[in-house]
């Protein structure tokens, strides 16, 4: 029997990526990684703590690859001084990410229940997704009209 708490967490995770109100069903503006992650979470075999964490981990790995791809492409579009600033910014972001995850890990490890390990995995993915999206959007801005 599935735990009501785990099913509630699954519902919360899936609701994070809702479609915009009035959006045409044929037009899905979500990133393919997030669509895949939602499908992973929707699969009944992943309605366990382990399965949900695995879905988040797979998506995290894909977002990390996407972040690195966008970073490299962005570096190719920038002047030397801009490249240096992006390098520094990325190093600082990595420090922030690591400290933030260390903090969240400590907070969640003190809490009762396995659902908090899912929350930690989701937070890790979300941080990387957000940074990747920032770089992707900057790259789109820089290459618009080229």
pLDDT tens for each residue of 35-50 = 999 999 999 998 999 9
Q: Where are the alpha helices (DSSP H) in the chain?
A: 4-15, 32-42, 49-77, 80-109, 115-143
Q: Evaluate whether the domain defined by 4-16+29-143 bears CATH number 1.20.1270.
A: yes
pLDDT score of 73: 97
Residues in the chain, how many?
146
Full-model pTM = 0.78
Q: Could you give the CA distance from residue 55 to residue 121 in angstroms, rounded to a whole number?
A: 9
Strand, coil or helix: 30:
coil
- Mean pLDDT throughout 98-105? 95
Judge whether residue 59 has pLDDT over 60: yes
Both tokens of residue 40?
């992973």
Mean pLDDT of 111-129: 91
Question: What pLDDT was estimated at residue 112?
Answer: 84
């Amino acid at each position: 029997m599935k735990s009501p708490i785990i099913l509630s967490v699954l519902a919360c995770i899936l609701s994070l990526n809702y479609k915009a109100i009035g959006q045409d069903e044929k037009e899905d503006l979500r990133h393919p990684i997030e669509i895949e992650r939602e499908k992973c979470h929707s699969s009944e075999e992943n309605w366990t703590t382990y399965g949900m964490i695995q879905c988040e981990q797979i998506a995290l790995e894909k977002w990390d690859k996407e972040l690195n791809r966008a970073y490299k492409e962005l570096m190719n579009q920038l002047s030397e001084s801009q490249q240096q600033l992006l390098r520094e910014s990325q190093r600082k972001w990595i420090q922030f990410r690591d400290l933030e995850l260390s903090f969240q890990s400590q907070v969640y490890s003190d809490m009762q229940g396995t659902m908090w390990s899912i929350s930690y995995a989701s937070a890790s993915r979300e941080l990387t997704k957000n940074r990747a999206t920032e770089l992707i959007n900057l790259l789109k801005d820089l290459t618009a009209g080229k």
